[in-house]
Amino acid sequence: MLIVFSGLPGAGKTAIARELARTIAAVHLRIDSIEQALHRAGHRVESEGYDIAYAVADDNLRVGRTVIADCVNPWSLTRDAWRAVAERAGVAALDVEVVCSDAAEHRRRVESREADIAGHVLPTWRDVVERDYHAWDRDRLVVDTTAGEVGVAVGAIMARLPARG
């Protein structure tokens, strides 16, 4: 199965994705990690981080691994591309949009975060609110992280996954 996390920076995607990956022994693909590695190698990054993640996800899905994609996933173009990865691999996909509906809390998180990837420059609050993030036009699971309870969010996602056996 492919589980694709989407949402603005600072909403809580990575914390939830990591815990879900640990819980279900899934592959965790974080776009920020891929893009930062490309930056360190001297590359200017546009869509390359996503392109690499699509290929790595496809490889892992084809050998039976569950894959969690951790990315902003801001447009229909990227959302469609993730869906195409799942279709090519012949697996189900679950879109999860992570939001923090309390703007003050979201801002606090963005402004208090520390980078956990060497050299990664985190976006400012202004960067986040000005981000070109398009509204969804299809079904997805929306997880609101305002309360900050990662375990609750993981439980909500696990409730939408097929039975594991």
**What's domain 2-158's architecture?**
3-Layer(aba) Sandwich (3.40)
Q: 83, 43 in Cβ contact below 8 A? A: no
pLDDT, averaged in runs of 10, over the chain (165 residues): 97 97 98 95 92 98 98 97 98 98 97 90 95 95 94 96 78
- Report field, pTM of the whole predicted structure over 0.85: yes
Q: What are the tokens at 58?
A: 């496809």
Q: Which of 133, 134, 128, 132 is nearest to 110 (CA)?
A: 128
pLDDT at 121: 86
pLDDT at 119: 83
pLDDT at 165: 58
Question: Residue 35 has what DSSP assignment?
Answer: H
Residue 104: half-sphere exposure toward Cβ, Cα within 13 Å: 0
Angle, alpha carbons 90-95-55 (nearest 5°): 50
